[in-house]
Structure 1
């Protein structure tokens, strides 16, 4: 079933006004139809970067997200955008880093995005959101930091079930292990016997499948224990 074109005069006027300045902005401008999950508008710069045109983007529907965006980050920012829309609060926005590429043969390009509600219908229900996507220079130091954050987020998602299985005492011991404390020091700090500390350490290593002190430190850092 085809989606009828937007006929709302107020919405059309807002988009037309945006078009007048979009080429002067240092960011790609995208307007999404929340109801159809499709692109309603993208500034010409964005179309050039993706090597496509607005009609083709509209015709893609939800496939647009899977074609151009790295799913590794979508798990992080899409739920936050949905919460923003459901909350329907004025002036709030969601900011996020994400990677985009025109084709699978092209390298990923980092962007800093910010999304907020752009338009509401007569009942006050959000129908469209607007996103500004600012390209991050390839040589910029932020690329290395964002890559580290991405790896950490991937690690968190893969190991959150393990962290949930740790007892409170095991988390305390894990914190001290991450800080490099030995068993005797842990026993004094936690006011427990050194034998008990040894048992906790063994159980933690088994649960984490840790083979080195690096594995322990990485886990403790990822879950903000140290």
Structure 2
């Protein structure tokens, strides 16, 4: 694609190939007349604002030897949903005149990025959980950690008592202390805690 520039920002598309037009469900003539409405129609508004800031910073450097890259979601007409694209921008001069500078943009679909984002988000969530609960984990006794493991594995208090050669009353006391220390009042919460700290 070739984008026109105004005040160091893209101001519309002056050329798009057939592949791009087909994906967007439109034609080159329509794209050419849309101006800045093009950016609102096919892209996520918040991402447009962020990407425009990045492009503006790139354009202020006025260095055709550099390029600016980013991910963005594009609404395609085949299903009406947004799809991730990897986009590369590069400044180009036509007729060697500054006023004829344009922005060349190449975009390529990225498959599987939603899964990747989900995985990264999960890792970040786990990191935050561990960071927020590490002191609690450190304050647990060796026996309490052992009991958390057995509870997470589905053992009852009676089973745990038999395995550890102690009374059921002792195990129940440990369970109360574990709940008090970790604030895990449900099995699901305790399982999350156990998984985060490799107790299962």
1:180 paired with 2:154, answer no
**TM-superposition CA deviations, 1:134-161 (whole Å, max 9, x none):** 0123xx3x3322467799xxxxxxxxxx
Matches of residues 50-89 of structure 1 in structure 2 within 5 Å? 50-89=24-63
1:42 paired with 2:24, answer no
* Inter-partner Cα distance in structure 2 for 1:85 and 1:150: 32
From the CA coordinates, give the structure whose radius of gyration is larger: 2
Q: How well do the aligned residues superpose, as a CA RMSD in angstroms?
A: 3.5
Secondary structure, aligned partner of 2:29: helix
Per the normalisation by structure 2, the TM-score is: 0.55
Is there any run of 5+ residues in structure 1 with no aligned partner, and where? 1-29, 152-173, 186-211, 214-226
Instruction: Go from structure 1 to structure 2 and tell me whether the alpha carbon gap of 1:67 and 1:150 turns closer, same or farther (over 3 Å shift).
Output: farther
Per the normalisation by structure 1, the TM-score is: 0.49
Q: 1:136 aligns with which of 95, 107, 110?
A: 110
Instruction: Go from structure 1 to structure 2 and tell me whether the alpha carbon gap of 1:123 and 1:43 turns closer, same or farther (over 3 Å shift).
Output: closer
Aligned residues: 133
Secondary structure, aligned partner of 2:84: strand
